[in-house]
Amino acid sequence: MRGILIFILGILAGQLIETNNGQNDNPGVVTLNHVGIAVDDMDESVAFYSETMGFERTFGLENAEGQTTLMQLKVSDDTFIELNPANEVLPAGLTHFGIHVEDIESVKAMYESRGARPTETRTSGSQALFSYIVDPQGIPIELAEYPPDSAQGRVLAGED
C-alpha cells in the first residue's frame, strides 16, 4: 500500500512539473523521470511492480556477488520506478525523485544561482551523470543527464 501511495505521489508530482514546464523558467529541465524506492524484498517488489502493476523491467544492475542493486521499471515512455534494496544505511521507503535534465552542469549552475547547493557531478553504474539537491524536508532530488551510451539513454531512445 505504501509503495502505491509513493508511486501515485510521484506521478502527481510529474504531472505538476510537466503541466507547469512551459510556465517555469527552468531551461534544461526535461521532466520528472523517476521515483526511487528502497525495498525490503527486491524479488517481491520487482514482481509486484512488473506483474501486478504491469510495468516493464527496463534494466537492472548487479554487484560482484550477482545480487540486484538496482532495477528500473517503465511506467510510461519517460517515467520510471527505480528500486534499490533497503539496508542499514538506506531504510525502506521513498529515497529520492529524479529529474531528467539536458545539460547537468548548466542546470546545476541555474539552481546554484537560486541558492541551492548541488553535489558534485558523478557517473553512475549505468553511465548516467547525476547530482543531488536536498529539499527543506531532507528529500533528495536527483538531477540526471542521460548520455546516449547510458542505460537510461538507450531506454529513452527505444533501443533497449
pLDDT in tens, 91-123: 999 999 999 999 999 999 999 999 999 999 999
Q: What is the pLDDT, as a whole number, of residue 159?
A: 85
Which of 53, 140, 60 lies closest to 99, judged by CA?
A: 140
CATH superfamily of 2-156: 2,3-Dihydroxybiphenyl 1,2-Dioxygenase, domain 1 (3.10.180.10)
Cα distances from 25 to residues 61, 94, 101, 107, in angstroms, run 35, 27, 14, 11
Inform me whether the pLDDT recorded for 16 exceeds 80: no
Quick check: 99 and 29 in contact, CB under 8 A?
A: yes
Segments making up each domain of the chain, as ranges: 2-156
Q: Tell me the mean pLDDT in the region 121-147.
A: 93
Q: pLDDT at residue 22 above 80?
A: no
Q: pLDDT digit string (tens) for 26-44?
A: 889 999 999 999 999 999 9
pLDDT of residue 142 exceeding 50: yes
